[in-house]
Amino acid sequence: MSKYDIVIIGSGLGGLQCAYILGKKGYKVLLLERQVQPGGCMQSYKRHGEWLDTGMHYVGGLGEGNCLHSTFKYLGLTDLPWQHLDPTGFDRVTIGDRTFKYAQGHEAFVETLAREFPQERKGLESYAKTMKEVGNHLFDAIKPRDEVDFFTTSLFASSTYDYLHETFKDDLLINVLCGSSLKMELAKETLPLYNFAQANNSFVQGSYRLKGDGNLIVNKLLDSIRSFGGELICNAEVEELIEKEGRLVAARCSNGETYEGNIFISNAHPAVTCDLVKESTKLKKVYRNRIARLENTYGMYTVSVVLKPGQLKYFNWNQYIYKEPNVWDYYKADGPVSGILISCRVPESGDDARILDILTPLPWERIEQWSDTKVGHRGDDYRAMKERLAEECIALAETFIPGLHHMVEAHYSTTPLTYRDYTLTPNGSAYGVRKDYHNPMMTLLSAKTPIPNLYLTGQSLTLHGLLGVTMTSLFTVSEIIGKEEAWKITQTV
C-alpha cells in the first residue's frame, strides 16, 4: 500500500490548487475524487456536442498588478485564453427600463455611475476607496508579521446592507451597486461588508472570461500536478477518514481501497468532512455540532442555451436583468423569475455566439419536495418545474435579446439538487457556508481542525468564488509550508 505525504479529498478548485502548490514544493500528493471526472463546480459536461459549464462564468483581478495575478501566474493559469471583458462596461445592470454600466478601474467605475447619480459622487468615491483598501489586504492572514489588520477584520463584523444605506441616499443606486451580485448571496440580514467589497473589488480591477470551458482550468492544473508526481483517482469516494492515536492515518474509499497519508486536506464541505471521521478522540461533539448547525447559502438554477448558428453576435460583458428595483428580495417572491444573469461564452472562432448561461437563485424550499431523489430519477413534476423555469429565464432574457426563444437549438438546466448530488454540498449551496456579520467568528472557519493533521479548504471557510477559493487555498497550504512561503506566492513573480 502506497503512503502519501498529502491526501486531498475532492478535486474542486481548492483541492487542485492545494495539490499544485504542495506538489510543486516536493510533497507526494494524492487527489481522491468521488465522481467520474475531476473539477467539482469547475468541471464542464458535454451535451449537444458542446461543453457546458457548471460554475465557471467569469473572474476578476487577473490583470498585471491585480489581486489574483501573481497567484494565478504561479499556478500557471495566466497563459490560458482569457478574454478581457469590456472595460467600459464589463457588468451591465438593467433595472426596469434603465441600464447601468460597471466600468473597469476604481476611478472609471465612480465616473461612470456618477454621471447617472451626480448627487452620489462622494458616496461612490468612499465605496471605491473601501473596495480598493480591502482588496489590498486580500492575503493578510498569511502575511508573515505579528500585527492584525483591524480594517479588514472589522469589515467582517459590518453589515453590507447597513453600510450601503448609510453611504447612499438613492435606493436605485443601491440596487444598481448590488445588481451584479448574483455571484454571491445577497442576504440583508447576514452579508458581511468584507465579502461584498472584496468580491466586487476584484471585478472592478478587471474582469475576464475564458475562451473555452472550465475544464481548461481543471486540466491545466492537473497536468502540472501530474508533472510534479501527483496522482488523481476518480470513482474513489471517501467513506471514512481513519484516526489512530489522535491523528488521521488513512482514507477508506468506495472503490475498496484504503490510502495512507501523513497530512489530509478536505475540499469537501466542512459538515461532510466531519461525517467522514466516524471515530475520533480529537473531533469533539462541540466542534461537530458547531459545524452541523452552520447555515448554507442558497443554490442556483442555471439554464445553458445552445444557440442556432448565426443568430446572435457575441457580447463582451455580463448582463444582469431585474424587472423591479428589488435586488435584495426578488428571489423570495412568488411568481415568474424576475432577476437573472446572462453570460455569453466567447466563440471558438468568429463573433457568433453559440452558448448562453442564464442564472437565477433557487432557494431550497422550492425544490425540497424532491430532496429524497437522485439525478435522472426525480419524476415528471421535477422535469416540468425545470422546464417552466427555463421558459421564464429565456422570456426575461428576451427583454435584452429580442427573439431569443426562436434562436434556441437546445437547452439544459441544473438545480441545487444537481449540485448537491454531484458535489455533496448540503442543499446544493452555491457559495458554501453563509457568513454572518453578527457573529463572524462562528461562521468564518479556520483551515485547521481539532485533528492536527486534518485541514479544510474551499469556499465555505472565508470567501466564495474563484477569488475566495484561491485565497483559502493559500491559507490552507500556509499551515503546512509556513506563512512566509505561502506569502511569496501572492507577490510579483
Q: What is the mean pLDDT of residues 137-149?
A: 77
Q: Where are the beta strands (DSSP E) in 57-200?
A: 59-60, 82-84, 91-95, 98-102
Alpha-carbon gap, residue 489 to 144, rounded angstroms: 13
Q: Is the C-alpha dihedral spanning 266, 271, 277, 281 positive or negative? A: positive
Angle of CA points 34, 422, 429, to nearest 5°: 125
Alpha-carbon gap, residue 113 to 91, rounded angstroms: 12
Domains, the chain, ordered by start: 3-54+213-295+433-489 (3.50.50.60), 107-205 (no CATH)
- Read off the C-alpha cell for 316: 463582451
Q: Per-residue pLDDT for 493 more than 70?
A: no
Contact 463, 4 (CB under 8 A): no
- Could you tell me the pLDDT band of residue 53, with boundaries at 50, 70 and 90? confident
> Residue 146's pLDDT is what?
56
Q: Give tens-digit pLDDT for 113-136.
A: 999 999 999 999 999 999 999 998
- Read off the C-alpha cell for 140: 493578510
Q: Per-residue pLDDT for 320 more than 80?
A: yes
Contacts of 104 (CB under 8 A, 6+ apart): 85, 87, 88, 90, 204, 205, 206, 207
> Residue 50's pLDDT is what?
80
Residue 189 burial class via C-beta count within 10 angstroms: exposed 0-12, middle 13-18, buried 19 and up: exposed
Q: What is the mean pLDDT of residues 359-383?
A: 94
For the chain, give the percent of residues with pLDDT over 70.
98
Question: Which is nearest to 175 in space by CA: 299, 298, 329?
Answer: 329
Name the DSSP class of 12: S
User: Can you give the pTM of this predicted structure?
Assistant: 0.95
Q: Per-residue pLDDT for 49 more than 90?
A: no
Q: What is the mean pLDDT of residues 42-64?
A: 84
Q: What is the mean pLDDT of residues 162-174?
A: 98
Q: Per-residue pLDDT for 85 more than 70?
A: yes
Q: Per-residue pLDDT for 237 more than 80?
A: yes
Contact 287, 470 (CB under 8 A): no
Alpha-carbon gap, residue 276 to 165, rounded angstroms: 43
Q: Per-residue pLDDT for 429 more than 70?
A: yes
Higher pLDDT, 152 or 297: 297
Q: Per-residue pLDDT for 152 more than 80?
A: no
